[in-house]
Amino acid sequence: MRTLGKKAEGKIIFFNRPMDASKINTFEAYGGAVNQRGSGAIEAAKAGGVAALVRSMTARLDDVPHTGGMGYQDGVPKIPAAAISTMDANLWPRSRNVEEQTYCGD
């Protein structure tokens, strides 16, 4: 996120890091990805983003958005945040007709 610089300003920031399917312990896989949802809106706002879109935190490939806890931080603009299903997260970047796409995986 920090490496995006000015590219993030005025954009919807898409957090699309999946849970690590190689982890046998699903809680370990969840722990390695859930920070995107928990603090995604904060980090996106700090970078100048206008909204955060987050891949659902599940190891399944399904069409159901999974929601959960997220937060805001005092002194940081409160921007909208939403979760999308893992199937949509896989398809969305390829289906957008935009001049430039900027991704954030951390």
- What whole-number distance in Å separates Cα of residue 100 and Cα of residue 84? 21
In this predicted structure, the answer to whether residue 98 has a pLDDT above a threshold of 70 is no
Largest separation between any pair of C-alpha atoms in the chain = 39
Q: What is the pLDDT of residue 45?
A: 95
- What whole-number distance in Å separates Cα of residue 81 and Cα of residue 59? 21
Assigned fold of 5-104: Glucose Oxidase; domain 1 (3.50.30)
Strands 103-104 and 81-84, sheet pairing: unpaired
Q: What is the pLDDT of residues 24-83, one digit of tens each?
A: 888 899 898 999 999 999 999 999 999 999 999 998 899 999 888 999 999 999 999 999
Q: What is the pLDDT of residue 13?
A: 92
In this predicted structure, the answer to whether residue 93 has a pLDDT above a threshold of 90 is no
In this predicted structure, the answer to whether residue 105 has a pLDDT above a threshold of 60 is no
